[in-house]
Structure 1
Amino acid sequence: MRYQDIYPSDPLLRGRDILRPRAADLLNLEYFEAEPAAMPKGRFEQHHLLLNYRETPHRVENWRDGRHRDFTYHPDEIVLTPAGIESGWHWHARSKVIVITLDPHRLGTFAEKELGILLAEKQLADVPQRRDAALCASAWQMKIALEERPLGFEIVYESLCRVFLVQLLDRYGEKRAVGADFSNGFTATQYGRVLNYVADNFGSTITVEQLARAAGLSPAHFSRLFKATVGETPHRFVMDYRLEQARKMLDDPSRALIDVALACGFADQAHLTRSFKQASGMTPREYRKR
């Protein structure tokens, strides 16, 4: 079930209705000013974060995995519910709230590929109520960008999304325990060095030997530990990174496909097309048209 499926009213603002799909990949922002109402309990496949902007406190009830909370919701307070937790709501005054939903898979990919962070299975902390004025201010900036749409607003919004996600993961991200997941000598520092090497060299040939050298391990030992820790082979990791950079370059319609292919380390345009279609179900041309 998606969190949006049970809203009792339509949002006044919805980011995905305005932006290209690429900008909505990281998060989905919706703004509500809704009369008192209720949402039935459900177990959702997304993380959802509620940020309160009502100027005066108001009464709210929240059910979380069978626990009932009847509390006063204050300005600049947030409620963060990780995916998989059953949640239901009843608010007793007109709301003024931003709801942000996040896809766990995309959030995990962003954390790994962009920040060098490996998140635990739950990814985010369960936060029934907490004041976080800084995070609320960041979300409000995203709302303003969507409403006012200044010159280059999609670029501005994308940047604000990234700032927001960094703040969110820094405060509430649950990272994998080093002792449990970076075992047998593979550390978070080594993972960071491998990620930096791929980011600096994805347009050239990258071998397992080069990645192992960056991590300070033998190739065989590195391949085994990397697969056990990250969940994919070094080769698949590099390919996924190249495809992600290719998607970004394809957003520029003036850039030739052969140029994108070579810049991202593919042997030729046909190699890019085969790999891209295998991963996404569409060719680079089809992706660009969409």
Structure 2
Amino acid sequence: MGLCPPEDLPNWVPGRVLLASDGLGWKDVALRSYHYHGQDVIVPAMRDFMLVGYQMGETPMRRRFEGRWSRDRLGPGAASLLTRAQQAHWTWEEPIDVTHVYLSAALVADVAGEALDCHVSDVRLADVLRAEDPVMSQAMRAIVEEAQHQALGGPLYVDWLSRGLIVHLLRRYAQIDFAPVQAAGLGPAKKRQIADFVEAHLADPLTLAEMAQAVGMTPCVFSRLFRLSFGQPPYAYVIARRIEAARRLLTGSALPIKEIAATCGFTDQAHLTRLFVRVHGKAPAAYRKAAG
């Protein structure tokens, strides 16, 4: 049996859904709130990391994780952590309202890689049945409020909240396995791949994240390896390639300079002129005239 996605959890742990983030456009983060009666259930190995916040009601709780039972009394203000891909046995007696926040493995690994400047192979959350953690509770409460009210920029806001929450979890509750990045720069294949990607997207507003994603890396790791390989930061490289593309069009075409600026990814003709003069000592019009 595969790992259980959040929406399938009621098949194992029946409850009434009070709130869900389905259809809100969130990426790598999900929220579901439930009303539960007392139960004795097996929570299957989940696809995502799961945080449980206790909203209403109070109950004795027992959980068996990796063969060990833990016991506590849980109510509003408390939270539990459950790592992904690990089955657990839960039993409680009284009705409770809880909120589940799910964080994808990809998002957690991405944040861990950026925080540690490394390639992360695995992250595990500690087995914590009861955490009194104001930072975690506040972040979960803010995510709940966004699901309820759906304000401007919701997906971006939730991504920002979740990344901060993940950094907190990594600091306090996580075990991380990683392999240090070698300081040899990008390999030949990835170097060609990113060079081709940049040439194909010069007209686009390229971001560091997009360039890193093109070669399957986190932005911080990509930026360091790029500098080792190309001898300059990614942004400086992109500008240099745009100026070179503009130079070729100035000497090899009759396109208006304004159109050349747009084709090569400059914000406007003045932007092209300012950077072109810095490199070639002449404005584009003067350069074209001298070359002709």
Q: Which runs of 4+ in 1 moved over 6 A?
A: 183-186
2:44 and 2:88 in contact (8 A); partners too: yes
Q: CA distance change for structure 1 residues 61 and 211 in 2, over 3 Å: closer, same or farther?
A: closer
2:49 and 2:83 in contact (8 A); partners too: yes
TM value normalised by structure 2 = 0.55
Residue 32 of structure 1, aligned match among 31, 34, 38: 34
Work out the CA distance in 1 between the residues paired with 2:209 and 2:144. 34
Which residue number corresponds to residue 42 of structure 1?
44
**1:18 matches 2:23:** yes
Q: CA deviation at 1:108?
A: 1.5
**1:144 matches 2:145:** yes
Which residue number corresponds to residue 112 of structure 1?
113
Work out the CA distance in 2 between the residues paired with 1:91 and 1:100. 20
Work out the CA distance in 1 between the residues paired with 2:163 and 2:81. 18
1:108 and 1:123 in contact (8 A); partners too: no
Which residue number corresponds to residue 129 of structure 1?
130
Work out the CA distance in 1 between the residues paired with 2:159 and 2:32. 15
Q: CA distance change for structure 1 residues 146 and 218 in 2, over 3 Å: closer, same or farther?
A: closer
Residue 199 of structure 1, aligned match among 193, 208, 213: 208
Work out the CA distance in 2 between the residues paired with 1:78 and 1:45. 19
Equivalent position SS for 2:130: strand
Q: CA deviation at 1:62?
A: 1.2
Q: CA deviation at 1:119?
A: 3.6
Work out the CA distance in 2 between the residues paired with 1:150 and 1:122. 32
Q: CA distance change for structure 1 residues 84 and 110 in 2, over 3 Å: closer, same or farther?
A: same
Of 2-11 and 111-120, deviating more is: 111-120
Report the residue type matching 1:33 in the other structure: H
Q: CA distance change for structure 1 residues 43 and 199 in 2, over 3 Å: closer, same or farther?
A: same
Report the residue type matching 1:35 in the other structure: H
Report the residue type matching 1:19 in the other structure: L
Work out the CA distance in 2 between the residues paired with 1:105 and 1:160. 16
Q: CA deviation at 1:80?
A: 1.3
Larger radius of gyration: 2
Which residue number corresponds to residue 182 of structure 1?
180
Which aligned pairs between 1:222-261 and structure 2 lie closer than 5 A? none
Work out the CA distance in 2 between the residues paired with 1:90 and 1:155. 36
Work out the CA distance in 2 between the residues paired with 1:83 and 1:134. 21
Q: CA deviation at 1:31?
A: 1.2
2:29 and 2:159 in contact (8 A); partners too: no
Equivalent position SS for 1:53: strand
Equivalent position SS for 1:45: coil
Q: CA distance change for structure 1 residues 94 and 213 in 2, over 3 Å: closer, same or farther?
A: closer
Which residue number corresponds to residue 13 of structure 2?
7
Q: CA RMSD in A?
A: 3.9
Q: CA distance change for structure 1 residues 165 and 46 in 2, over 3 Å: closer, same or farther?
A: same
Identity, in percent, stands at: 16
Structure 1 residues 72-91: Cα deviation after superposition (integer angstroms, max 9, x where no partner): 12432222121232202122
Aligned residues: 200
Report the residue type matching 2:160 in the other structure: S
Q: CA deviation at 1:184?
A: 7.2
Which residue number corresponds to residue 246 of structure 1?
none
Work out the CA distance in 2 between the residues paired with 1:200 and 1:63. 40
Q: CA deviation at 1:35?
A: 2.4
2:55 and 2:77 in contact (8 A); partners too: yes
Equivalent position SS for 2:84: coil
Which residue number corresponds to residue 65 of structure 2?
64
Work out the CA distance in 2 between the residues paired with 1:160 and 1:112. 17
Residue 227 of structure 2, aligned match among 214, 221, 229: 214
Q: CA distance change for structure 1 residues 111 and 70 in 2, over 3 Å: closer, same or farther?
A: closer
